[in-house]
Structure 1
Amino acid sequence: MRPTAAGFTRAVALLGVVAAVGLLPWLSGRDPALTVLRARSAEQEPTREALDAIRRDLGLDAGPLSLLGSWAARLAHGDLGTSWVSGTDVLPSVAAGLQVSLALMGAALGVAVLLAVVLVAPVLRRGHASAGAGAAMLAAVPEFLLATVGLLVCGVWLGWLPTSGWQGPQHLVLPAVALGVPAGGLLGRLVADALPAVLEERWVELWRGAGVGRARISAAALRRVLPPLVPQFGMAAVGLTGGAVAVETVFAIPGIGRTALGAAKSQDLPLLQGSVLALLLLGLVTGATAASARRRLLGPALRDASLQPPPAHPVRVRPAIPLTLAAVLLTAIGWGLLRDPYAVHTAARLARPSWAHPLGTDGLGRDVLARLGHGAATTVGTAAAVCLLSLVVSLALGFLPGVAAGAADIANALPPVIVGILVAAAAGPGTGGAALAVALISWPPPAAHAAALVQEVRASAYLTAQRAIGASPSWILTRHVLPSVAAPVARHALLRLPGIALALASLGFLGLGAQPPAPEWGLLLDESRAYVERAPWAALSPAVALALLAGLAVTGAAYTQGRGAARTAKDRTTTNRKNQMPKTTKTTKTMNKETLVGV
């Protein structure tokens, strides 16, 4: 029954996303006829007759359901409609943009695989994990931040590579590196963390004793460790789809992501519909390819089995590292909160860092440190609200794993940027829309954690005893199940707070989140791109703050997980010692207890 429920919710979620794309002209809250009139002739008066004529021409006077039906009928025949702005067919524009994005993603995937090989090679030689927090930090740094720093350093300061355009192989280097490094860090860390446990298995020792070469053992170990990790690889590839939107925007690459973003800002809804469908299809195909690769790696004997990944070795992080990062970040934020983030000083435009302005000023003469400090409240405060909402949803869906599994597949196939584009097209850009976009797809990991904990707690022996003595289901739920599940899931949601803040910052960087003059970190980075050559400190300040936030997320999570693993190991050692107690001692204790009871 569970696969049926998961398949049903998967189909419903997919149909819901497609229907939302088809109904964008009605969900946008704006008059599409007025948008088309402005695009066709900016000087023409928006009279009732002119707007009615455009509505009849576009079929908007037939109502939303008729519009959705006609759009679906054209879509079934491969017709994506006509652009409202340019008047050209949408399909050639989408195909051209998709071709560019696929080339960029292919190059980025090559960079990711190369970096993953570099991170995994020492593990195969030494037999223990060596990727550590460095690979985790690479995986946590957002693509738009790497793209901005790479453009600033390699393009502007050093002049090694072009900073924009799509004219030759040299224009592909910086975007591919910015897009591939986080994915490579994630893939390398996953494999490097799981390999040591595989290399300690019994069959490896037997193969070594039989004289099998290191290369063959390494290949077999990789084949053993890859199948359970392939779904994670698929999610990393889906992340390339969302990251491509930001990278294409930074480097002015005419890909499908930049096309979708431009269509959302200009309200060219047919072009936006086609671009979003292409991105959604790309994500779904990537996930299906990962599932097919996993089944092929498992082989026919294990295709229906539940193969769990080997236990990962926790990354050891000294507590001084996250404490230092937190101290630096909190000091900058606290210092900035004492200043006015909106005060404009035109005479001090793009001023260098000084005692009056420790981080310089921006293009309007506003203090960068002040905007950095006040922007933390917007970015981190909104992320905390999203985390709380994700926690509530995860606890609710933890008791419905079959229903949540199908919807989670669709949510995992949608990066935050794509959902942000849809929400911005429907409700307009803003902090609330960005928070809604991130919340819609941030619930699957904690929900899966909650479902696993609920299953474990329900199967425990003490709950069986509670049922045997007549405890009601509501009593068991409120007094035993929820307290056991809520605390670990809450810690999981809290550890995701910096990552959600970075996702909100990426939407602000693309113009889909907070709007000027709000001092939001992603928006600060986007505003400083216009004068990055003259005042690089204005761009480096929010970039460093985001990098510190990413580092704090990784090191804090690693330190917490390391302490949890050490505590678990200690508990297991204590339990084993108790189990190894001599039988005479247990018998003596039992006899003494029985004697006392008899008295």
Structure 2
Amino acid sequence: MRAGAWIVTASRVVTVLGVVVILGMLPWLSDRDPALSILRARSAEQEATEEALDAIRRDLGLDVGPLRMFWGWFTGVIQGDPGTSWNTGRPVLPGAVDALGVSLTLMSCAMIVALVVASLIVLPTLRAGLRGNPRRTGGAAAAAMTSMPEFLLASVLVIVGAVWLSFPAYGWNGPEYVVLPALALGLPAGGLIGRLLADAVAVTFTEGWVTTWTVAGFTRRRITGAVLRRALPGLASQIGLVMVAMTGGAVAVEKVFAIPGLGRTTLGDAQSQDLPALQIDVLLLLAVSAVLGISAELIRRAMLGSALRGGSMPIPSGVFAPSPRRWIAPIVAASVLVVMVVAGLPRDAYYSTREKFAPPSAEFPFGTDASGRDLLARVSEGAISTVSLSLAVTAGCFVIGVLFGLIPRVSRGLVEVTNAAPPVVAGILIAAIWGPSAGGAAVAVLIVTWAPLAAHTAALVEEARSRPYIAILPTLGASEARILFGSIVPSVLPVIMRHAMLRLPGVALALAALGFLGLGPRPPTPDWGLILSEGVAGVERAPWVVLAPLASLIALAVLAVSLASATSGRTRRTVDDTAVPVASATASN
């Protein structure tokens, strides 16, 4: 095995072992005393004396020390016994497996929804290509669905289903209870998959062999099958990432719809500091994410077949240049946010009036919340804090991504594992260690957002090294450090910086999602996700309480998706006139 392959393998092994150690040492990493949390959970009235806390520590096994406790947990996991719950005293594995079954059922139904939606989006593109007019269609519908994060769409569906249509929206008591959650989880995934596939199919129809097959008299059915086989392998990895993201999205959907799945169970165990249950919950979530990612890669390899083994990988023919009209959506979304922020700045976000759940009026354009506070003021102040925190996180992601992108072999395992971990899982672990806070949410988003920038940096560095004027520098006596930091890095940094800034709205959405799940700032902080979460709790009594946070988050989501669409990769031509895609500033994780 070559030295490079050894380094990559070692990176993967060390990263996986690091994740296992973090999970096993969770009781010792937390800055909150687990004994005190368990005492409060068992009896809120009992005095927290040192004797009572010591008794609980002996009962939980915390008195044996971190190494012995970790080894006991690790060997127990290998033997199929990850421990007993600190709250109930029962084995944690059966309950976690039951909750996992509920989550897998929900995700399976959501995947059916996603496949149906993706098929409906790509069908017009296929028809246009078969008519000899290759172009992507259905972009507006796909963008609308993609722009709605799961926790946001779930909140909207609760209003539509529970308030307006009297549809069952809470619980897990029959087939009808899966409809709204599956839509909330499947529509964004289907919109994204359909959008990616429509782009790939439209580009494939521009390739010369399609014209040759058409002239030769091949049937439309056979051409369609060949186009899909040509387009799908390049998307398999990204579809796998969409499915991994669905694992994190299921946590928010299960919370909104009160579904007893693994995501909701994990949130509850994190809040109650039941760390043995939380350890197996997170382990199962990561295992599901890893299986989905590995399955996508195996499917990709199976579809490529001999092309992958023989090194004859097909080169994509390019992508369509963005239309100026694609800038309309981000401009409109940004304008909505600016107007809301400016209108709410003079108002007090913390002042509580006597009128709770006041409907929208001239005095309170978005009404008041359950505490009588001005919702417009809270959304406006929340925008300032969210954007400031998002900028700090984005800057950190840029720095870390560039540094790790310059050592791709060493960081390969870390990048792969990070891509397989939804932000929500990182948020749950950080909250279990530090408690819910804005800083903890920022760290959680930072942990999972730098990886795409690192992968993009590594790809650009590799591309730069192949350029003739860079390849000749060693023969001119230039050192490796001078080549890297004098020629390659300066050419890469502007592209990565644009990529990082395009991720800014997505970072803000991730922070809002953690706030919505109770993993971010605590009340009465005017955090967008927290405001929406509080509004959803009272939506049946006062549906307008969610208007302000929904409007701001929808505008932010549209901004995030439309920016990525408006700045999609352009096409360049090589000397032999074969179109190849330029590395896009919007490369996703």
TM-score, normalised by the number of residues in structure 2: 0.93
Name the % identity.
51
| Paired residues of 1:194 and 1:313 also in contact (CA < 8 A) | no
Shift of the 361–42 alpha-carbon distance from structure 1 to 2, 3 Å rule, reads closer
* Matching of residue 245 in structure 1 with residue 251 in structure 2: yes
| Paired residues of 1:133 and 1:554 also in contact (CA < 8 A) | no
- Give the aligned partner of residue 582 of structure 1: none
| Paired residues of 1:382 and 1:435 also in contact (CA < 8 A) | yes
Deviations 1:226-259 (A, max 9, x none): 1121111111111111000000000000000000
Q: C-alpha separation between the residues in 1 aligned to 2:395 and 2:285?
A: 29
Unaligned runs of 5+ in 2: 130-134, 578-589
Q: CA deviation at 1:372?
A: 0.6
Deviates more, 1:178-187 or 1:404-413: 404-413
Q: C-alpha separation between the residues in 1 aligned to 2:515 and 2:107?
A: 23
Shift of the 155–314 alpha-carbon distance from structure 1 to 2, 3 Å rule, reads farther
Q: C-alpha separation between the residues in 1 aligned to 2:336 and 2:575?
A: 39
| Paired residues of 2:60 and 2:86 also in contact (CA < 8 A) | no
| Paired residues of 2:204 and 2:231 also in contact (CA < 8 A) | yes
- Give the aligned partner of residue 110 of structure 2: 108
Deviations 1:574-597 (A, max 9, x none): 999xxxxxxxxxxxxxxxxxxxxx
- Give the aligned partner of residue 432 of structure 1: 439
Q: Give the alignment of 1:364-383 within 5 angstroms.
A: 364-383=371-390
- Give the aligned partner of residue 208 of structure 1: 214
- Give the aligned partner of residue 227 of structure 1: 233
Shift of the 165–464 alpha-carbon distance from structure 1 to 2, 3 Å rule, reads closer
TM-score, normalised by the number of residues in structure 1: 0.91
Q: CA deviation at 1:549?
A: 0.8
Q: Give the alignment of 1:184-583 within 5 angstroms.
A: 184-303=190-309, 305=311, 309=316, 311-318=318-325, 319-345=327-353, 347-561=354-568, 565=570
Q: Which amino acid aligns with 1:355?
A: A
The structure having more radius of gyration, on CA atoms, is 1
Select 2:175's aligned residue among 169, 172, 187: 169
Deviates more, 1:251-260 or 1:8-17: 8-17
Q: C-alpha separation between the residues in 2 aligned to 1:431 and 1:422?
A: 14
Shift of the 283–303 alpha-carbon distance from structure 1 to 2, 3 Å rule, reads farther
Deviates more, 1:425-434 or 1:328-337: 328-337
- Give the aligned partner of residue 580 of structure 1: none
Deviates more, 1:253-262 or 1:18-27: 18-27
Q: Which amino acid aligns with 2:226?
A: A
Deviates more, 1:314-323 or 1:335-344: 314-323
Select 2:121's aligned residue among 97, 101, 119: 119
Q: Aligned with 1:348: secondary structure?
A: coil
Q: CA deviation at 1:176?
A: 0.1
Select 1:42's aligned residue among 41, 44, 60: 44
| Paired residues of 1:230 and 1:291 also in contact (CA < 8 A) | yes
| Paired residues of 1:322 and 1:555 also in contact (CA < 8 A) | yes
| Paired residues of 1:317 and 1:558 also in contact (CA < 8 A) | no
Q: CA deviation at 1:50?
A: 2.9
Q: Aligned with 2:118: secondary structure?
A: helix
Deviates more, 1:531-540 or 1:297-306: 297-306
Select 2:160's aligned residue among 148, 153, 170: 153
Q: Which amino acid aligns with 2:95?
A: S
Q: Which amino acid aligns with 1:212?
A: F
Q: C-alpha separation between the residues in 1 aligned to 2:360 and 2:40?
A: 44
Q: CA deviation at 1:373?
A: 0.6
* Matching of residue 183 in structure 1 with residue 183 in structure 2: no
Unaligned runs of 5+ in 1: 577-599
Q: Which amino acid aligns with 1:290?
A: A
